Amino acid sequence: MSLSAAAPPMSLVRRYWRDQALWTTIADVFAILAALALPWSTSLVVIFVPCWLGAVAWVMDWRAYGRLLKQPICYLPFALVGLALVGTLWSDAAWGTRLYAVGPTLKLLVLPALFYHFQRSSRGMWVFVAFLVSCALLMVMSWVVAYDPSLSLKPSQSDVRGVFVKNYIDQSQEFALCAVALVYPFMRLVRAEKVLPALLLGLLAVCFIDTMAFIVASRSAIVTMPVMLVAVALVHMRRRTSLIIIGVTVALVGLLWITTSDLRWGPKRLLKDYQLYKTEQSVTSIGLRLEFWKKSLQFFSEAPVIGHGTGSLRGLFERGATDYSASDRSKIISNPHNQTLNVAVQWGTIGVVLLYAMWLVHLLLFRGEGLVAWIGLLVVVQNMFTSLFNSHLFDFHEGWMYVLGVGVAGGMTLAAKQRGLPAAPVIPR
């Protein structure tokens, strides 16, 4: 009796042990969960992504994956990670510091697996919808916390209004991406005369923008939005439509600039902040950044070809801070707040070439038509532009936004190219 009772479960195990459809669905679920968790938690992302990788690897066609790795969209991220690993050999930092500095690059290894999986999965759009829904919920909590700061889970951010989890920079990057991404389906619905869905999407986009402007103000995120919109409009739309979008965007940014004092950051204020930093040692954002960039350029000039090695940044900034007081030295950084300089100081010109080559091939991947190409291009443009002010490719949150966004959209784009179709319906001309 016990043997016969045990037979059916064993039979089910053998049946589904290598079932392609089952494991693809399991992997899709973990990818969706990772997208849902990203705006809220780093720990959950660290759990869901390896689970997703395991499910994909279990039934992976390794020959097909090997063929995919021959494409520059895959081998260039691998090359950048490889350079970070090899760069530990000529760094003078402690080995623990060197290996720790490799960590931020490792997320790029997930990109080829995402391309592979979502070239075969039909649920890539579910990942984007999950991220949008999660950001919308976070936006609601941002307004709630703005009126009752005691509900915030980040007491250290108490001086920043409207931050429920993480920080205002991460939150603003999410909201900016969602707001601009919604422009495409909004216009498509308007052209199709589907008024109610178009109004709902338009209202959601406006709510994201209002939240950034009046609750959590991030200048870099606001400034990046018109750049993102102009870039994708020029690629995906005709001149007349592009001009309309650009005009509306300029008008909206101008209105926000006039009505929101926190966003006013003109040349006079930049100069004033830098002078305060230099003459009175006042801590200002622009003053610190210019100081970081100036020192980083000096470090780069000392080793312009291969850099100072992985993990060398903090030691270099410590060496350049000999004239600081003891209290100032506690604020020494290991990040120049610029992705190009971050790479240049550690791995020289070779690293910079690999970085921009990777960005370029990912941009070219999304030259086609459709919503998916629109989203993919937005993700790359946002990461490139905001990396002027931060090392966003290596930061946890923005880095995973890039990897998940480019990986999922890239896989769907590759699948559409195989079928000779756009990755999603296009806007009617």
* DSSP assignment string, 364-378: HHT-S-SHHHHHHHH
Q: From the CB of residue 328, how many other CB atoms can be counted at a distance below 10 Å?
A: 11
Q: What is the C-alpha separation between 263 and 265, in angstroms, rounded?
A: 6
With vertex at residue 398, the alpha carbon angle to CA 393 and CA 400, rounded to the nearest 5 degrees, is 85
pTM of the full structure: 0.85
Q: What is the C-alpha separation between 223 and 262, in angstroms, rounded?
A: 13
Amino acid 313: pLDDT = 86
Please compute, for residue 365, the number of CA atoms within 13 A of its CA located in the half-sphere on the CB side: 31
Phi, psi dihedrals of residue 389, rounded to the nearest 5° = -115, -10
- Which candidate, 19, 18, 108, 125, places its Cα nearest to that of 415? 125
CA-CA distances (angstroms) from residue 4 to 7, 15, 351, 356?
A: 5, 17, 62, 62
Residue 413 and residue 423 in contact, taking contact as beta carbons nearer than 8 Å: yes
Q: What is the C-alpha separation between 277 and 32, in angstroms, rounded?
A: 45
Q: Does residue 160 sit in helix, strand or coil?
A: coil
Q: Residue 36 pLDDT > 90, yes or no? A: yes
Helices 42-58 and 110-118 meet at what angle, rounded to 10?
Answer: 60
Q: What is the C-alpha separation between 300 and 138, in angstroms, rounded?
A: 40
pLDDT band at 23 (very low <50, low <70, confident <90, very high): confident
pLDDT: is 137 or 328 the higher one? Answer: 137
Amino acid 215: pLDDT = 73
- Give residue-wise pLDDT tens across range 262-304: 555 544 555 666 666 566 555 556 667 777 788 888 888 888 9
What mean pLDDT is predicted for residues 142-157? Answer: 73
With vertex at residue 373, the alpha carbon angle to CA 368 and CA 374, rounded to the nearest 5 degrees, is 115
Residue 245 and residue 234 in contact, taking contact as beta carbons nearer than 8 Å: no
Q: Does residue 71 sit in helix, strand or coil?
A: coil
Residue type, 158: S
List the structure tokens of 140.
């609601």
Q: What is the C-alpha separation between 337 and 104, in angstroms, rounded?
A: 14
Residue 347 and residue 306 in contact, taking contact as beta carbons nearer than 8 Å: yes
Amino acid 236: pLDDT = 60
Residue 236 and residue 369 in contact, taking contact as beta carbons nearer than 8 Å: yes
Q: What is the C-alpha separation between 280 and 310, in angstroms, rounded?
A: 34
Q: Report the b/e string of 237-275 with b at 16+ CB within 10 A.
A: beeeebeebeeebeebbeebeeeeeebebeeeeeeebbe
Q: How far is CA 6 from the centre of its chain?
A: 48
Amino acid 291: pLDDT = 77
- Which candidate, 349, 338, 329, places its Cα nearest to that of 295? 338
- What is the DSSP annotation of 206-271? HHHHHIIIIIS--HHHHHHHHHHHHHHHHHHS-HHHHHHHHHHHHHHHHHHHHH-GGG---HHHHH
Amino acid 265: pLDDT = 52
CA-CA distances (angstroms) from residue 346 to 77, 94, 115?
A: 16, 14, 28
Amino acid 230: pLDDT = 74
- Give residue-wise pLDDT tens across range 79-93: 999 999 999 999 888
Tokens 């443009």 found at: 381
pLDDT band at 6 (very low <50, low <70, confident <90, very high): very low
Tokens 């609601």 found at: 140
Give residues with Cβ within 8 angstroms of 83, minimum separation 6.
347, 350, 351, 354
What mean pLDDT is predicted for residues 165-189? Answer: 85
Q: What is the C-alpha separation between 420 and 112, in angstroms, rounded?
A: 21
- Which candidate, 179, 170, 237, places its Cα nearest to that of 203? 179
DSSP 59: T
Lowest mean pLDDT among 84-88, 185-189, 200-204, 234-238: 234-238
What mean pLDDT is predicted for residues 342-353? Answer: 94
pLDDT: is 23 or 257 the higher one? Answer: 23
